[in-house]
Amino acid sequence: MLFTADHDDIRRSLQKFIANEINPHVDDWEKADIFPAHELFKKMGSLGFLGLNKPVEFGGSGLDYSYALMMAEELGAITCGGVPMAIGVQTDMATPALARFGSDEVRREFLAPSISGDFVACIGVSEPGAGSDVASIKTQARTDGDDYVIDGGKMWITNGTQADWICLLANTGDGPVHRNKSLICVPMKSKGVTVARKLDKMGMRSSDTAQIFFDNVRVPKRNRIGDEGKGFTYQMIQFQEERLWGAAACLKSHEYIIDQTIAYTRNRKAFGQSILDNQVVHFKLAEMQTEVELLRALIYRAAEQLVAGEDVTKLATMAKLKAGRLGRELTDACLQYWGGMGFTNETPVSRAYRDSRLTSIGGGADEVMLMVLCKMMGTLPGSKGSS
């Protein structure tokens, strides 16, 4: 069994926190196009939510990954996508590699305050010319004595306007593209770091997303996570948790939209009967609920294997792919049943329609997930086993 009574205790605490401290403010944060990350993260850190599976010596709870997955699933009950995504960046995207491979010194400086909620973190991988193609990043960190001097830029950085530090992937050598990169913790207040602009997005409105430039930014080499040249490998490992998190965070949000659509279509009348009474509607909603449960089973299976120390690249990739595709199909179908009201911004289904679209893009686009799977199956042209 993946979850126990201990999981349920934390789950109930998180549900109460979301109901009292997050959901009452979501509409205001969506209108403002930002939420107060430092204020919210400090509250979450004080309750232990930001370090469930992080080392005890740096303020975490030292629990296994199943607790982090449970939290990701519960965050899906937040009535928008932007806030849970920002929390996920803090817990499962910017900090896993640091927690696993960072020196004690760099973990004290960056991980501990991220767990306590005193620091807001962001992850710097994507660039204007290198989104899903991580190997093609151009940001450089050249060695100058005991320092790195960083030049380049990052794009689509969640938490970027509020972050205290960025987990930056940069080229630190001239070797092969998969062995010339390093992950570096860079304080956002460093001289030469510029938040160029806050991006105006279709969805995820309450989450701030930035374009960031680095111009001769000097940081000590001790800020590097693990070994030089291992950054690509560390990031690929980190992606396993990120992609599972992204899939798990969809589950409750999908179920919420199904429930809201059932309630709305039951009361909405057309041609002498409720919309829900039409077989095409209630059958479709039943199919969507089944798809959500199938996705949950896949995610739980992957989480069990991850807890057991196994490589879950294949299952995490499948879960991420399926979550994105299902989000597009489910919200599109449900919005249709809301009719004209579904096209207004005052309904939950329109927000879900906009927010869920990112799942097929962020953290590796659908097409990249398919490439990964085809490579593992030996069907990708040029891969072992392909014709």
Output the average pLDDT for the chain. 96
> SS3 for 206?
coil
Tokens found for residue 103? 């020196």
Residue 198 has pLDDT above 60, yes or no: yes
Tokens found for residue 294? 């199938």
Instruction: Kindly give the pairing relationship between strand 224-225 and strand 121-124.
Output: unpaired
Q: Percentage of residues in the chain with pLDDT exceeding 90? A: 95
* CA distance linking residue 109 with residue 211, whole number of Å: 25
Give burial (CB, 10 Å; 0-12/13-18/19+) of 173: middle
Using a cut of 0.85, tell me whether the model's pTM lies above it. yes
Task: Give the catalytic positions in this structure.
Answer: 242
User: Can you tell me the mean pLDDT for 70-81?
Assistant: 98
Query: Which residues have C-beta within 8 Å of that of residue 249, sequence separation ≥ 6?
Result: 72, 73, 75, 76, 84, 85, 88
User: Can you tell me the mean pLDDT for 47-71?
Assistant: 98
User: Can you tell me the mean pLDDT for 260-271?
Assistant: 96
CB 326 within 8 A of CB 254: yes
User: Can you tell me the mean pLDDT for 223-230?
Assistant: 98
- Transcribe 157-176 into DSSP letters: EETTTT-SEEEEEEE-SSS-
pLDDT of residue 216: 98
pLDDT of residue 312: 96
pLDDT of residue 72: 98
Q: What is the CA radius of gyration of the chain?
A: 21
> SS3 for 125?
coil
Residue 1 has pLDDT above 90, yes or no: no
Question: What is the rounded (10 degree) CA torsion for 18, 237, 300, 121?
Answer: 0
Confidence category of residue 385, pLDDT binned at 50, 70, 90:
low
Which of left, alpha, beta for 192 (phi over 0: left; psi -120 to 50: alpha)?
Answer: left
Residue 221 has pLDDT above 90, yes or no: yes
pLDDT of residue 131: 79
pLDDT of residue 375: 95
Q: How far is Cα of residue 317 from the mean position of the Cα atoms in its chain?
A: 14
User: Can you tell me the mean pLDDT for 173-187?
Assistant: 95
* CA distance linking residue 234 with residue 290, whole number of Å: 35
* CA distance linking residue 157 with residue 208, whole number of Å: 8
Which of 116, 129, 106 has its CA nearest to residue 186? 106
Instruction: Kindly give the pairing relationship between strand 147-158 and strand 209-220.
Output: antiparallel
Give the pLDDT confidence of 330-340 residue by residue, as tens digits: 999 999 999 99
Q: Percentage of residues in the chain with pLDDT exceeding 70? A: 99
Confidence category of residue 386, pLDDT binned at 50, 70, 90:
low
Residue 387 has pLDDT above 80, yes or no: no
Residue 53 has pLDDT above 70, yes or no: yes
Give the pLDDT confidence of 15-38 residue by residue, as tens digits: 999 999 999 999 999 999 999 999
Give the pLDDT confidence of 96-120 residue by residue, as tens digits: 999 999 999 999 999 999 999 999 9
Cα-based angle 206, 210, 216 (whole degrees, multiple of 5): 155
Confidence category of residue 225, pLDDT binned at 50, 70, 90:
very high
Confidence category of residue 159, pLDDT binned at 50, 70, 90:
very high
Which of 240, 93, 110, 69 has its CA nearest to residue 159? 93
Beta pairing partners, 183 = 169, 225
pLDDT of residue 383: 75
> SS3 for 209?
strand
Alpha helix (H) residue ranges in 339-365: 348-356
Identity (one letter) of the amino acid at 235?
A: Q
Tokens found for residue 40? 């919210």
Sign (positive/negative) of CA torsion 92, 114, 26, 3? Answer: positive
Give the pLDDT confidence of 124-136 residue by residue, as tens digits: 999 998 877 899 9
Confidence category of residue 360, pLDDT binned at 50, 70, 90:
very high
Q: How far is Cα of residue 325 from the mean position of the Cα atoms in its chain?
A: 16
